[in-house]
Structure 1
Amino acid sequence: MPLFITYASYSNAGIKGIIDKPIDRTEPIRAVVEKAGGKLIAAYMTTGPHDVVIVTEQADGSDAVAVGMAAAASGAVAKLETVRAWTLDEFKGIAQKASRCAEAYVPPGR
């Protein structure tokens, strides 16, 4: 299954919830990911521009977006970004395809 990385930042209400009831958030995250048909690979609290980084396997991007929408709808998440990830070996195949396609591409103005 495709791999997705989600970066999330909690809203003020989300941070208050974490402080009011400090628990390991792995299982609540796993539950919503599995409800969408995916698998939680890893979940981390982080410093910097994002509070949370979540790595999941999902059938496709729409499942990953549905998980994010469900979390955002709760009001506990202020910012969310989900990206598709490829292993380096998988990306080699993409680069090879791009190499084949490049000869057919005509840049603007030529």
Structure 2
Amino acid sequence: MPLYMTRFAYTPDALAALVKHPQNREDVLRALIEKLGGRLISFYYSFGTYDGLFIAEMPDETTITAAIFAVVSPGHIKSVETTVLLTTEQTMEAMRKAGTQTYPAPG
């Protein structure tokens, strides 16, 4: 199954609620991802533009999109960014395929 990395940032209200009443959001996310047929591989909090990130194995792009829609729909997430992750072997195969192609530059 494909791997996806999603970075997220909470709204100020969500952070205030979590400070006032700490909750393990990893368990909540894991339950959602498993219900959709995926697997949560890792979950981390971080400093900077994003408050955290997770890596999940999901059946396809539609399913990870459904998970993200479900996560952001309550309104406690202010931004989210999801990236498809490729293994080294997948990337090597892409390089081999690209090496057999030509594409003219403009001009």
Determine if the TM-score, normalized by the shorter chain, exceeds 0.5: yes
Alignment equivalent of 1:106, drawn from 91, 104, 107? 104
Q: Does 1:20 align with 2:20?
A: yes
Paired residue type of 1:106: P
Q: How does 1:1-110 map to 2 (within 5 A)?
A: 1-101=1-101, 103=102, 105-109=103-107
TM-score when scaled to structure 2? 0.92
Q: CA deviation at 1:76?
A: 0.8
- Retained in 2: the 8 A contact 1:13–1:75? no
Identity %: 29
Q: Give the Cα separation in 1 of the matches to 2:62 and 2:18.
A: 28
Q: Give the Cα separation in 1 of the matches to 2:33 and 2:16.
A: 23
TM-score when scaled to structure 1? 0.90
Paired residue type of 1:23: Q
What root-mean-square deviation, in Å, do the aligned CA atoms of Structure 1 and Structure 2 show? 1.2
Query: 5+ residue gaps in structure 1?
Result: none
Single out whichever of 83-92 and 1-10 deviates more from structure 2.
Answer: 83-92
Q: CA deviation at 1:67?
A: 1.1
Q: CA deviation at 1:64?
A: 1.1
